[in-house]
Amino acid sequence: MSRAPIFHFNEQRQELVQAVVDRVIAETRDPVLLLNDAAFHEIRRLELAGDQDAVTRWRKVARMLGGLVNDGGRGRALELLREQALELAHDINGNFDRRVHYFASRFLPAGMSVFLRPGIIAERNPLEILKGEALAERIVSSGKIAQIRRLAELGTVVYVPTHLSNLDSPVFAYALQASGLPPVTYGAGKNLFTNPLLSFFMRNLGAYRIDRRLKFELYKQVLKTYSSMLIERGFHSLFFPGGTRSRSGGVERKLKLGLAGTGLEAYIRTTQQGKSQRVFFVPATINYMLTLEAETLIDDWLQEQGRARYIIEDDESTRVDRLTSLARKLVQMEESCAVRFGQPLDPFGNEVDDDGRSYDRRGREVDPRSYIVDRDGKVTIDHSRDAQYTRELGEVVMEHYLKDTVAMPTHVVATAAFALLRKRMPNADLFALVRRRDESVVPWRDLIDEIERTQRRLLDLEGRDAITLSSAVRGATATEVLGDAERALNGYHSHAILRSREQGVALLDPKVLLYYQNRLAAHGVAWHGGIAR
């Protein structure tokens, strides 16, 4: 594992920043236009934020640009552009500390197990605890792990997982380590670096900062160039192509592929340089029995504030008590989180084999280089063509999200419960269903029958390679599935979600049930209800 490229990241760290800036400058046609765009967006953003000092600085830049529109001012405009690009690249740049990685990989899993479940010291062999085996029972990895391990030695691997929670990055990092896969670089929202403890590990374990508040073109170019250069240099990478966490709880059906597209750019550039550095995309799903921020996210989605609150700063992930509550609940359940690594793909959406060879949908071997040459056989960057390739890759990635979704008991029971609720109110729209204040009690037998129907449909889908079931769903009775879900939901959320009554089962919070049932909506099992991210 110490041979992984990221262990040599800091040797290139400063030179990488300079290389990013040099490329941005070299490929800029109109530096004045680029700087004007940056000044316009930043002045407007900073005025709303009340940062007058920064507003004054950008106004000064804007005034200077007025005198640089002719050819004689291009040199000064490029100097200003270099200054701004360098500042942005330094702010984005990541870091990797071997000592922090050693500590995190050796002791954090054991420490988490002991902290979250103190009685484990008496229950387990100390060696099991030190190896993190108790945590391994809760975060289960599956899928094409052996193949990915092989491909990581042949080229650069770009992971593109689903995104549900702010816990996704550390959970995925643990899954990589537990699977014997090399660590990765990844972009993380700058707002996540406000937590001192989380920030310390993120800053030293390959994370680079993405400031989603910055909308101007220069920032986008610096960020994309930085990402491309990481992949060109062989650093395995992680992107969340959904952009933000899924507000609805559903599997992503629309992707933001800006950064993911840098994988194709990296492949083209290394091919132009005569290198044989292949790039492999790995779709993956991160699946939770319980989602830390479920209540906040579903509220945000229902209130149609997803756009206005693009960065949520006041959800459950900022509260230590909710983190601890979730963690204590998760360690009571085996397979409370499942990370599933999907079929590796080339940058054009073709499946690849263990030796990195690409095959189209008809099973015919194809040469990836043939996708990026012009009529004269020259390897070129063609932005329109490459954007289309990336969109096609995104479609294939979403297909794999569906088949690699792992259905948990909470998803199944919420689907069944919400189906019964809809039968009681057949003419009600989504908002009428979730706003009801009265306690809806469904007969126990009706709920068990509906859970069994849901299980049968899921088993049929799994037989057609259209979904994956957790062992707690595949091999359990409906009564066991209901019991697992009830204990999980009521043990973590701020109030009971469903509760057994003498007359049946009371559905106490339709909104939270909606969130968990949404995970199966894109599969046609749960109610769709107009779900969107």
- Confidence band, pLDDT 50/70/90 cuts, at residue 2: low
- Contact between 246 and 164 under an 8 Å Cβ cutoff? The reply is yes
Residue 487, beta-bridge partner list: none
Mean predicted confidence (pLDDT) in 473-499: 89
- Looking at residue 115, its pLDDT comes to 37
- Looking at residue 496, its pLDDT comes to 87
- Confidence band, pLDDT 50/70/90 cuts, at residue 302: confident
- Contact between 392 and 371 under an 8 Å Cβ cutoff? The reply is no
Lowest mean pLDDT among 98-112, 219-233, 306-320: 306-320
Q: How far does Cα 64 stand from its chain's mean position?
A: 41
pLDDT for 105 beyond 60: yes
pLDDT for 311 beyond 60: no
- Confidence band, pLDDT 50/70/90 cuts, at residue 136: low
- Looking at residue 243, its pLDDT comes to 84
> For residues 304 and 415, which has the higher predicted lDDT (pLDDT)?
415
- Looking at residue 137, its pLDDT comes to 65
pLDDT for 232 beyond 80: yes
pLDDT for 129 beyond 50: no
Please list, in sequence order, all residues whose beta carbon lies within 8 angstroms of the beta carbon of residue 74, skipping any fewer than 6 positions away. Answer: 31, 32, 68
Interaxial angle between packed helices 510-517 and 294-302, expressed in degrees from 0 to 180 and rounded to the nearest 10: 90
> For residues 73 and 160, which has the higher predicted lDDT (pLDDT)?
160
- Looking at residue 110, its pLDDT comes to 52
Mean predicted confidence (pLDDT) in 187-211: 84
Q: Determine the Cα–Cα distance for residues 221 and 241; give it in Å rounded to an integer.
A: 17
- Looking at residue 334, its pLDDT comes to 53
- Contact between 188 and 245 under an 8 Å Cβ cutoff? The reply is no
Mean predicted confidence (pLDDT) in 370-381: 94
- Looking at residue 300, its pLDDT comes to 86
Copy the structure tokens of residue 389: 């390739």
Q: Determine the Cα–Cα distance for residues 252 and 240; give it in Å rounded to an integer.
A: 10
pLDDT digits (tens, 9 = 90+) for 83-96: 999 999 999 999 99
The three-class DSSP label of residue 108 is helix
Q: Determine the Cα–Cα distance for residues 164 and 316; give it in Å rounded to an integer.
A: 13
Copy the structure tokens of residue 529: 């209800």
pLDDT for 452 beyond 80: yes
> For residues 251 and 137, which has the higher predicted lDDT (pLDDT)?
251
Mean predicted confidence (pLDDT) in 23-35: 94
- Looking at residue 426, its pLDDT comes to 82
What is the rounded average pLDDT for all residues in the chain? Answer: 86
Mean predicted confidence (pLDDT) in 160-165: 95
pLDDT digits (tens, 9 = 90+) for 467-485: 999 999 998 999 999 999 9
Mean predicted confidence (pLDDT) in 138-144: 90
Residue 505, beta-bridge partner list: 442, 500
User: No. of H helices and E strands in the chain?
Assistant: 22, 15
- Confidence band, pLDDT 50/70/90 cuts, at residue 257: confident
Helices (H), 353-477: 383-404, 409-424, 430-435, 444-463, 471-474
- Looking at residue 275, its pLDDT comes to 86
Q: Determine the Cα–Cα distance for residues 339 and 144; give it in Å rounded to an integer.
A: 11
Sheet holding 498-500, edge to edge: 440-442, 505-507, 498-500
pLDDT for 326 beyond 50: no
pLDDT digits (tens, 9 = 90+) for 407-435: 999 999 999 999 999 888 888 777 778 87
- Looking at residue 533, its pLDDT comes to 42
Helices (H), 252-319: 261-272, 294-302
- Looking at residue 309, its pLDDT comes to 38
- Looking at residue 25, its pLDDT comes to 97
* DSSP H or E segment with residue 48: helix 31-49
Q: What is the 3-state secondary structure (H, E, C) of 331-372?
A: CCCCCCEEEEECCCECCCCCEECCCCCEECCCCCEECHHHHH
Lowest mean pLDDT among 24-38, 276-290, 300-314, 487-501: 300-314
The three-class DSSP label of residue 487 is helix
> For residues 366 and 335, which has the higher predicted lDDT (pLDDT)?
366
> For residues 291 and 17, which has the higher predicted lDDT (pLDDT)?
17
